[in-house]
Every structure is written in structure tokens, then in C-alpha cells.
């Protein structure tokens, strides 16, 4: 690896680690929304209200049952929350994630719900901004 490439890689890595949490949310939502269709975008818009009315676990269960774009958005949300709180950059899967929420204390559950709202705010904006399918 040349010195220039190594320096460029380090600079890119340093820029990545200096991203604010809002920038990380925005970047993740932008990347995930690249494959979204109109159905995804429409459901992403309604998801925060569903969580507000029914709760995070209930909405994740609903998405899992519905499948399709509902489950895809839920997978993306689980992936983000797992990365954010557990430092693991993957979706742990529906059952494992639900077990984690069941075992979470009230404070941790509220933190996960609050983070879900913050990420979904970005997802709604980024998905709407994209001109895909």
C-alpha cells in the first residue's frame, strides 16, 4: 500500500469516527433507503406513529408478521439499534432482538425506543429524498 493510499485511508477512517451521532443516523438511513420502493417509503412515514401508539416491540412483531417491505424496514431498524447499543454491525434477527428487548430494563427499553424514533426521522427524510423505483 502506498503512503498516499495509507494516509487517505487513515483520513477516511478518522472522518468516519468523528461523525456525530446525527450524521451516523443520517448516513445509515441514506444507505439503507437506496433500495426502498414507494411501499417502503410510505410505511417508513407511518412507523413512528405506530410505535408511539402501540410500542416498539408490538410494531416489530407486526412488521415480522406482515413480511415484505415492513419486515425489511424492521430489519434495517434492528440492525441500526444493534449497532448503536451492542456495537455489532448486523441485524441479530427478529427472535434474538425481541429477547433482548424483553430482558431490557425500563431505561434501556426507553433508550431503544427513543433511538428508534431518531433513526426513523432520518429514514423518512432520506427515503423521501431518493428518487428510486
Is 69 within 8 Å of 39 (Cβ atoms)? yes
C-alpha cell at 37: 420502493
Q: Cα(52)–Cα(113) distance, rounded to whole angstroms?
A: 9
Q: Cα(30)–Cα(44) distance, rounded to whole angstroms?
A: 13
C-alpha cell at 63: 412488521
Q: Other C-beta atoms within 10 Å of 32: how many?
A: 23
pTM of this structure: 0.84
Tell me which fold the domain 21-131 belongs to: Peroxidase; domain 1 (1.10.520)
Beta strands in the chain (DSSP E): none
* pLDDT tens sequence across 1-27: 545 545 444 544 555 568 999 999 999
* pLDDT tens sequence across 90-126: 999 999 999 999 999 999 999 999 999 999 999 999 9
Write out the DSSP string of 34-61: TT--HHHHHHHHHHHHHHHHH-HHHHHH
- Residue 68, classed as helix, strand or coil, is helix
Amino acid at each position: 500500500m502506498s503512503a498516499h493510499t495509507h494516509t487517505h485511508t487513515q483520513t477516511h477512517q478518522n472522518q468516519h469516527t468523528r461523525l456525530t451521532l446525527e450524521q451516523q443516523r443520517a448516513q445509515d438511513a441514506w444507505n439503507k433507503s437506496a433500495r426502498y420502493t414507494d411501499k417502503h417509503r410510505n410505511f417508513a412515514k407511518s412507523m413512528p406513529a405506530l410505535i408511539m401508539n402501540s410500542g416498539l416491540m408490538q410494531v416489530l412483531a407486526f412488521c415480522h408478521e406482515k413480511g415484505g417491505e415492513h419486515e425489511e424496514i424492521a430489519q434495517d431498524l434492528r440492525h441500526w439499534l444493534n449497532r448503536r447499543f451492542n456495537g455489532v454491525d448486523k441485524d441479530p434477527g427478529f427472535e434474538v432482538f425481541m429477547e433482548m428487548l424483553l430482558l431490557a430494563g425500563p431505561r434501556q427499553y426507553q433508550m431503544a425506543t427513543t433511538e428508534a424514533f431518531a433513526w426513523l426521522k432520518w429514514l423518512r427524510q432520506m427515503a423521501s429524498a431518493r428518487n428510486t423505483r
